[in-house]
Structure 1
Amino acid sequence: MKGIVFTEFMDMVESNFGLEVVDTIIEDSQLQSEGIYTSVGTYDFNEMVSLITNLSNQVKVPVDDLVYTFGLFLFTSLGKAHPEVIQSYTSPINLLYSIEDHIHVHVKKLYPDAELPTFKILEKTDTSISMIYTSSRGLYRLAHGLMQKAFEHFNGSAEITYELLKEDGTEVKFDIVQNG
């Protein structure tokens, strides 16, 4: 997993729960990297699992809720780091529609070895989109948070529902309908 995900996760933990919690989850996780991450490095996904699990235990918030919250945080961070990607869109539906053909292409240029989820578009209108998220990591709640924040970025909101097509969350159908 790319280091930028780890560095942003640590930033979220620090801003939401404090530096002491960051230190505690690093100590509790017994990480090969010792919790030292660079945004351009690549790290074992299991380190993220350990960090999130220990954060959940520490702050008494379910893992899925923390992953969703991280998705909200990550959209803002990535938007600040790469505003040119988001600025080329006029609506959140069009942004979501272009994940595979534009956004992930841009990410692959920056991080050639990034392992990204895939999004297969099933149906799109001006105010709705249905897609299948597929990832061996099952971080669909992260994707959900990113989607939610995309609507907020464009000063809108949406009803986002999802159905697990595989119980482990590696394949999930999202149905998104923009409000008013």
Structure 2
Amino acid sequence: MKGIVFTEFLEMVEAKFGLQTADDIIEKSDLPSEGIYTSIGTYSFNEMISLITQLNKETNIPPGDLIYAFGHYLFSGLGKAHPEVIANYNSPLGLLYSIEDHIHVHVKKIYPEAELPTFRILDKTDTSLTMIYSSSRGLYRLAHGLIEKTFEHFNASAQVSYELLKEDGTQVKFNIVQNG
């Protein structure tokens, strides 16, 4: 997993729960990296699981809710790190429709070893989008938060619902309908 995800996660923890909580979850997790991340580094996904598990223990917030909140937070961090990607779009549905064919292609150029989820478009209209999220990591709640934040970025809103196609969350169908 790319380091930018770890650095943004720890920034979110510090911003929402304080520096002490960020330090505590690093200290209480068994991290081969010792919690020292660079945005361009690559780290084990298990380290993220450890951090989320410890944050859940510290806050009593369900892991899925923490991951969803992180999706909201991560959008801004990725937008600051790569503003040129978002600048190519003038609508949230346009951006979401282009995740696989443009945005992930751009990401792979910067981070060739990145393991990205896939988004297969099933249906698109001027006001809606249906797509299948697939990832061995099952971070569909992160995707959900990113999708919602995409609409906020464009000063729009949408009804976002999802259906687990596999119980472990590795394949999820998202239905997105932009509000009038």
* Short-chain TM bin: over 0.9
Q: Residue 68 of structure 1 aligns to a residue in which SS?
A: helix
Deviations 1:98-128 (A, max 9, x none): 0001000110011000000000000000110
The Cα of 1:87 is off from its aligned counterpart by: 0.9
TM-score by length of 2: 0.99
Give the corresponding residue for 2:155.
155
Give the corresponding residue for 1:98.
98
Q: Give runs of ≥4 in structure 1 deviating > 4 Å.
A: none
Give the corresponding residue for 1:62.
62
CA distance in 2, matches of 1:64, 1:151: 21
- 1:1-180 → structure 2 map (5 Å cutoff): 1-180=1-180
Q: Any gaps of 5 or more consecutive residues in structure 1?
A: none
Deviations 1:15-42 (A, max 9, x none): 1101100111011112111000011111
Deviations 1:48-81 (A, max 9, x none): 0010011011011010000000000000111111
Q: Which AA in structure 1 matches 2:29?
A: S
Q: Which AA in structure 1 matches 2:147?
A: M
Q: Any gaps of 5 or more consecutive residues in structure 2?
A: none
CA distance in 1, matches of 2:91, 2:129: 12
CA distance in 1, matches of 2:142, 2:51: 15
Q: Residue 43 of structure 1 aligns to a residue in which SS?
A: coil
Identity %: 72
The Cα of 1:132 is off from its aligned counterpart by: 0.2
CA distance in 1, matches of 2:54, 2:111: 28
CA distance in 2, matches of 1:132, 1:65: 21
TM-score by length of 1: 0.99
